[in-house]
């Protein structure tokens, strides 16, 4: 593998069923509301009725003093199971979300197989490889923390809606 190429794997487990996790991940336009690393999402092209071919430019903040921006084209969707896309820009390669039930919760795996394309990053990659991997880990941890909060709020709301029914029956 060239020094400028990375295969980074992130694994998350949530105490929520697959459906709400899927709904959050399949909607990158909403990521800035819960993922603090996502600064902006711009829609560049609409996909088909299933989302295949949709292109979004995503601008990311990182734990290091730089931002990254790249276009992500959705190339494959298997509902409730897989989202795959191809990145082009300051990073180039493939990102793949895989979801699976884990007991009553959900296991998520993200494979990020990319090359850095910024000249300074390519030159520094052999030396800064562990720093770039650490930075990716921080960005993904922010995503996990944000999605955990989003899912917890949704579950609390769902539970609260069940608790606030018509009230106790009246007796005479």
Segments making up each domain of the chain, as ranges: 5-160
Planar angle of CA 6, 91, 18, nearest 5 degrees: 75
CATH 3.90.550.10 applies to domain 5-160: no
- Only one residue has tokens 């190339």, namely 75
Q: For the whole model, what pTM was predicted? A: 0.87
Separation between Cα atoms, residue 172 and residue 170, nearest integer Å: 7
* Strands across the sheet containing 105-116: 5-14, 105-116, 91-102, 82-89, 67-78, 55-61, 38-45
Round the average pLDDT of the chain to a whole number and report it. Answer: 90
Question: What pLDDT digit, counting tens, does each position of 59-99 carry?
Answer: 999 999 999 999 999 999 999 999 999 999 999 999 999 99
């Amino acid at each position: 593998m060239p020094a400028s190429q990375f295969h980074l794997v992130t694994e998350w487990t949530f105490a929520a069923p697959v459906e709400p996790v899927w709904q959050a991940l399949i909607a990158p336009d909403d990521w800035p509301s819960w993922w603090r690393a996502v600064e902006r999402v711009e829609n560049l092209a609409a996909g088909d009725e299933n989302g295949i071919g949709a292109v979004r430019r995503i601008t990311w903040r990182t734990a290091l003093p730089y931002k990254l921006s790249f276009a992500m084209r959705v190339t494959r969707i298997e509902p409730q199971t897989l989202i795959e896309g191809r990145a082009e820009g300051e990073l180039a390669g493939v990102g793949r979300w895989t979801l699976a039930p884990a007991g009553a919760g959900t296991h998520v795996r993200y494979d990020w197989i990319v090359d850095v394309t910024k000249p300074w990053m390519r030159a520094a990659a052999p030396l800064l490889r562990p720093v770039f991997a650490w930075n990716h880990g921080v960005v993904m941890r922010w995503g996990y923390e944000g999605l955990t909060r989003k899912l917890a709020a949704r579950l609390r709301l769902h539970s609260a809606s069940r608790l606030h029914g018509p009230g106790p029956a009246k007796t005479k």
